[in-house]
Amino acid sequence: MKNATWIQRSETVFIGTYNRFPAAMVRGSGCCLWDADGKKYLDFLAGIAVCSLGHCHPQVTEAICRQAGALVHVSNLFHTPPQIELAELLVSNSFADRVFMCNSGAEANEAAIKLARIHSSPERYEIIALAGSFHGRTLATVAATGQPKFHQGFEPLPQGFVHAEFGSPQAIEQLISPHTCAILCEPLQGESGVRPLDTEYLQAIRSICDRHGLLLIFDEVQTGLGRTGSLFAYEQLGVTPDIMTLAKALGNGLPIGAMLTTDRIAASLTVGSHASTFGGNPVAAAAGVEVLKILLSDGFLDAVQEKSRYFVAQLETVAAQYPHLASGVRGAGLLLGLVLTDRGIEEGAAIVQQMFEEGVLINFAGNRVLRFVPPLIVTKEEIDELISKLCTVFDRLT
């Protein structure tokens, strides 16, 4: 069956929440995808920073198949080896001592919000998040998200979330009340346009938390697991959170999320206070174990940093070559954005569409930035190919 037939069937049955590319994807390998018409794509989206080891990484696929043949699900009424191994890998490689497993980024943030509240209850419950942030689509995480477009029509939203202007420690401090329990932020805002938070700003946030007895929650759903060149983004910032959430790349495509914290804070969640039917499912956790082992293997993260330097240099050349369209490069590791000029922004959607036609997948984040989140195994040749296609598309716009 061809793309056209799949698309027509798809458009008949789904609620229209997605604006999808006109392709039905049927196969993936490494940084490549193939659609139902047999067209090949170079994938610089990686399922939105999910398939960090590339599509169908053999070691992950093998682990999934092995676990699917042994045990798929028993619920969290029992211990299961893959879940335990994954949790051990997460705590032995982070600040955290304890893990709660769930199925997605929003659920990991829900768990973090619930933990922050129960730890601080009854008088403190309010969370300060940042303007421009993205934390998920459940009602509480959408309330935490600092972008009004995600709120519209869903009011009344859960209470207890306020948003501080981006970049200003004073703005955060002004929002602190006797009810504040935590500050929630992404170390680098992904969805709103690959916007890094300065190290000094993050350090100021940490010190505000310490002075006021607030918990610092880092949403590393997108930045975590090697994406920025270290296992977790916080490691490069000299700032350690009290709670951290993970999801996207954790299962290299299988749905799994995690909320991590210290012994002291974790003690606030006791038997029956939180749960997830599928959370830490053995098959997804078995995939997660392989993901962690590969990310932690010798030289893997160094290679991510080296490819990042190469990619940044190439993107800077593009920005210099097309100053009317692009004004600069930002981001970290392999979470990079080419910032467009006002003229470039007008063409943003068209650039993404033309890249798709050229067989390269990217997206337009925060209505101002072309976002590149390739699998971390991307090669320099693949980066060169993307750059050359980008120039082809930009040439047409000049």
Work out which of 136, 160, 348, 366 binds ligand PLP, going by CB under 6 A: 136
Minimum CB separation of residue 219 from ligand PLP in Å reads 5
Q: Which residues of 57-74 are buried (b: 16+ CB within 10 A; e: fewer)?
A: beebeebbeebeeeeeee
Name the residue nearer to ligand PLP (CB basis): 195 or 389: 195
Work out which of 44, 100, 125, 134 binds ligand PLP, going by CB under 6 A: 134
Q: Determine contact, residues 186/222, Cβ cutoff 8 Å.
A: yes
Distance CA 398, CA 396 (A): 6
The angle subtended at Cα 117 by Cα 183 and Cα 233, nearest 5°, is: 40
Instruction: Using CB under 6 A, count the residues that bind ligand PLP.
Output: 15
Q: Determine contact, residues 301/308, Cβ cutoff 8 Å.
A: no
Closest CA to 222 of 66, 366, 95: 366
Task: Give counts: helices (H), strands (E), the chain.
Answer: 14, 17
| Residues 64-123 interacting with ligand PLP (rule: CB under 6 A) | 104-106, 109
The angle subtended at Cα 361 by Cα 198 and Cα 147, nearest 5°, is: 45
Strand partners, 330: 337
Name the residue nearer to ligand PLP (CB basis): 225 or 301: 225
Structure token digits, residue 327: 């004004």
Name the residue nearer to ligand PLP (CB basis): 206 or 371: 371
Mask: binding to ligand PLP, 301-340, rule CB under 6 A, as x and -? ----------------------------------------
Closest residue to ligand PLP, judged by C-beta, is: 105
3-state secondary structure of 226: coil
Q: How many CB atoms lie within 10 A of CB 386?
A: 24
| Residues 169-198 interacting with ligand PLP (rule: CB under 6 A) | 186, 190-191
Q: Determine contact, residues 336/371, Cβ cutoff 8 Å.
A: yes
Kindly state the DSSP code that residue 249 receives in the 8-state scheme. G
Mask: binding to ligand PLP, 254-293, rule CB under 6 A, as x and -? ----------------------------------------
Minimum CB separation of residue 104 from ligand PLP in Å reads 3
Minimum CB separation of residue 330 from ligand PLP in Å reads 16
Kindly state the DSSP code that residue 198 receives in the 8-state scheme. P
Mask: binding to ligand PLP, 235-254, rule CB under 6 A, as x and -? ------------xx------
Minimum CB separation of residue 18 from ligand PLP in Å reads 12
Work out which of 219, 290, 347, 382 binds ligand PLP, going by CB under 6 A: 219
Minimum CB separation of residue 49 from ligand PLP in Å reads 7
Residue for token digits 């206070």?
273
Work out which of 221, 318, 383, 390 binds ligand PLP, going by CB under 6 A: 221
User: Contact region for ligand PLP (CB under 6 A) — 161-169, 172-180, 219-227, 233-241?
Assistant: 219-227
Distance CA 397, CA 386 (A): 17
Q: Determine contact, residues 366/193, Cβ cutoff 8 Å.
A: yes
Minimum CB separation of residue 141 from ligand PLP in Å reads 7
Minimum CB separation of residue 4 from ligand PLP in Å reads 29
Distances in Å between the Cα of 71 and the Cα atoms of 65, 80, 250, 251, 347 are: 10, 9, 20, 17, 49
Minimum CB separation of residue 365 from ligand PLP in Å reads 10
Element (H, E) at 300: helix 300-321
Name the residue nearer to ligand PLP (CB basis): 319 or 361: 361
Does the N-terminal peptide bond of residue 196 adopt cis geometry, omega within 30 degrees of 0?
no
Minimum CB separation of residue 139 from ligand PLP in Å reads 13
Interacting residues with ligand PLP (CB under 6 A): 104-106, 109, 134-136, 186, 190-191, 219, 221-222, 247-248
